[in-house]
Structure 1
Amino acid sequence: MEPAATDPTGDALAAAAAASSLVFLGTGCSGALPDARCLIQPSAPPCTVCSQALSLPPDRNPNYRCNTSLLIDYCHDNDTHKYILIAVGKTFREQVLRWFVHHKVPSVDSIILTHDHADAVLGLVDVWVVQSSNHRNDVDDQVAVFLTQFTMDSVAARFPYFVKRELEEGDETARLDWTIIESDVNKPFVSSGLEFVPLPVMHGEGYVCLGFLFGRKARVAYLSDVSRILPRTEHTISKSGAGQLDLLILETNQLHGVGNGRSCHLTLSEVNSSLDLTLNSYAIKRICLKKALLIGMNHEFEHHRENRMLTEWSHREGIPVQLAHDGLRIFIDL
């Protein structure tokens, strides 16, 4: 899987005008890559991934990773496009400059928050720059934000001015309409015309994060911050639940180790010179999906090296699995 092209062809532009797509705005960990510590306090030998992350422009360097975030470009039946953002982290402004411009994304229509950690919500301060002119000027046409009550309370405590109903003219603050959702697979909600099923997962013990299942035609499950997939979530996205999953987008934060539920993240392990996906492998096989893309990687992951190993695993297991990269755009019939 190669990085996104810098000069889209006419065919690609035509496809973009007539189809839904997923844009990976960020595929990295909370600290993003390159890890500044590897550059200001270099090890001996220096970190290969973080050193390389500054050697090429991001559109040709998949080891440059911003905070995990997904943009859904949902094309309605009348060919109008709505842009739905899942998670808006610390690197959001950079993602806008890199990938909104590159993929000609004009604005955001709605936002879905997975949890209240900094790498999922701090970009709210910059959402105003991607609001359409209607959203900026009409208080009755605000950007909808979907989040749990727990996350709402956290956001309100950090940014009380976000939840004010009256803003002064000229405020560089997004006009947002807050909607509380439940951490319940039986309580879906609709964002910009597309239905989402909440998928509760553990993000470390004692903390629940939300993933989401969406798509009427192709079914996509997005699990960005997860240490353990709960049985009700696994059933919901499995073949025995609502049918076969077309695409699973799943976090794998660390290369070495075992994601045994005590960590806050799933891991990818190399054992006896062959690739074993540990919990990821378990989930991928149990769910019986068609394809998986991995996100949330730290600097242990060198994109091309790990994808070569994943290709071997994919051929052996019969399920295509690869690392995603920032800027990747996938056209999909939602």
Structure 2
Amino acid sequence: MKITFLGTGTSQGVPLIGCTCEVCSSVDYRDNRLRVSVHLQVNGKSIIIDSGPDFRQQVLRERIKKLDALVYTHEHKDHIAGLDDIRPFNFMQNTDMPLYGEERVLERIKQEFPYIFAEYKYPGIPKVELYPVINEPFEVAGVEFIPIRVMHYKLPVFGYRIGDFTYITDVSFIAEEEKDKVRGSKVIVLDALRHEPHISHFSLQEAIALLTELKPERAYLTHISHLLGLHREVEQNLPDFIRLAYDGLQIEV
């Protein structure tokens, strides 16, 4: 399985509009972070988790020519706002795009993009098929996904395990029974917003503590804000098995 980090930033991205801090002013490409998303290439299938407002830019940058499905973690705008840009895939593949997410998430998508679901559809709008997800394993284009229930403050969201790879973003709490689903993953991607505690995201130290407990071979941190600091400086103080993800990073699992 090949994983490409399409975006590794928080909801406002990095650099932050109007900010002149050293991170937002950095010339290190690793400090420029679009909204969080990953592309999975597995068993000949192409799957993206979350389509935020930078979806078009991310797909163009990585030259993604084929997309078999979109899978959603939750309904916040930085995770769904780019859905309209699936239209070229509709045209090229001559098929509706499968969307997987909790019923609540799919209902929010209906509200955010009502024209997609209108009785009389305008020509050229996105075409989708909705597949509700519950907290049980399911298949996406023949690839098994295991949902990991986590809490994003008071909002229940899903992370996902695909084989030996687990992806969890936007999280502030994971119950013990959900941790058991993650154990044994060779690679874990985990939310780490900043150094200071946050109401709805793991801090850097909270993420490190959980990864140390779960003991993957490798781990990558994502959903990073400018408050975490410069990429090159933060990485120097991380445990050897933990790295910061950055936009465009590709790994094999």
Instruction: Give the TM-score band, short-chain normalised.
Output: over 0.9
TM-score (norm 1): 0.72
Correspondence 1:180 to 2:132? yes
Q: Do 1:25 and 1:327's aligned partners in 2 also have CA atoms closer than 8 Å? A: yes
Structure 1 stretches of at least 4 aligned residues deviating more than 6 Å after TM superposition: none
Match of 1:286 among 207, 210, 213: 213
Match of 1:193 among 142, 159, 179: 142
Larger strand proportion of the pair: 2
Q: Residue 161 of structure 1 aligns with which residue?
A: 115
Q: Residue 27 of structure 1 aligns with which residue?
A: 8
Correspondence 1:257 to 2:196? yes
Larger Rg belongs to: 1
Correspondence 1:203 to 2:152? yes
SS of residue in 2 equivalent to 1:48: coil
Q: Offset of 1:166 from its aligned partner?
A: 6.3
Q: Which runs of 5+ in 1 are unaligned?
A: 1-19, 39-45, 136-140, 239-243, 269-276, 315-319
TM-score (norm 2): 0.94
Q: Deviations over 1:186-213 (max 9, x none)?
A: x111001110011110101x21111001
Q: Offset of 1:69 from its aligned partner?
A: 0.1
Correspondence 1:248 to 2:188? yes
Q: Residue 37 of structure 1 aligns with which residue?
A: 18
Q: Offset of 1:165 from its aligned partner?
A: 7.0
Q: Which runs of 5+ in 2 are unaligned?
A: none
Q: Offset of 1:122 from its aligned partner?
A: 0.4
**2:45, 2:118 → 1: CA distance?**
26
Match of 2:65 among 99, 106, 115: 106
SS of residue in 2 equivalent to 1:152: helix
Q: Offset of 1:86 from its aligned partner?
A: 0.1
Q: Deviations over 1:242-297 (max 9, x none)?
A: xx21000001011x2235xxx110111xxxxxxxx2x2233112222211100011
Q: Do 2:115 and 2:122's aligned partners in 1 also have CA atoms closer than 8 Å? A: no
**2:79, 2:200 → 1: CA distance?**
15
Q: 1:230 to 1:248 in 2, by over 3 A?
A: same
Match of 2:47 among 65, 84, 89: 84
**2:24, 2:235 → 1: CA distance?**
17
Correspondence 1:118 to 2:77? yes
Q: Residue 302 of structure 1 aligns with which residue?
A: 230
Q: 1:51 to 1:116 in 2, by over 3 A?
A: same
**1:34, 1:162 → 2: CA distance?**
32
Percent of residue pairs bearing the same amino acid type: 26
Match of 1:212 among 160, 164, 178: 160
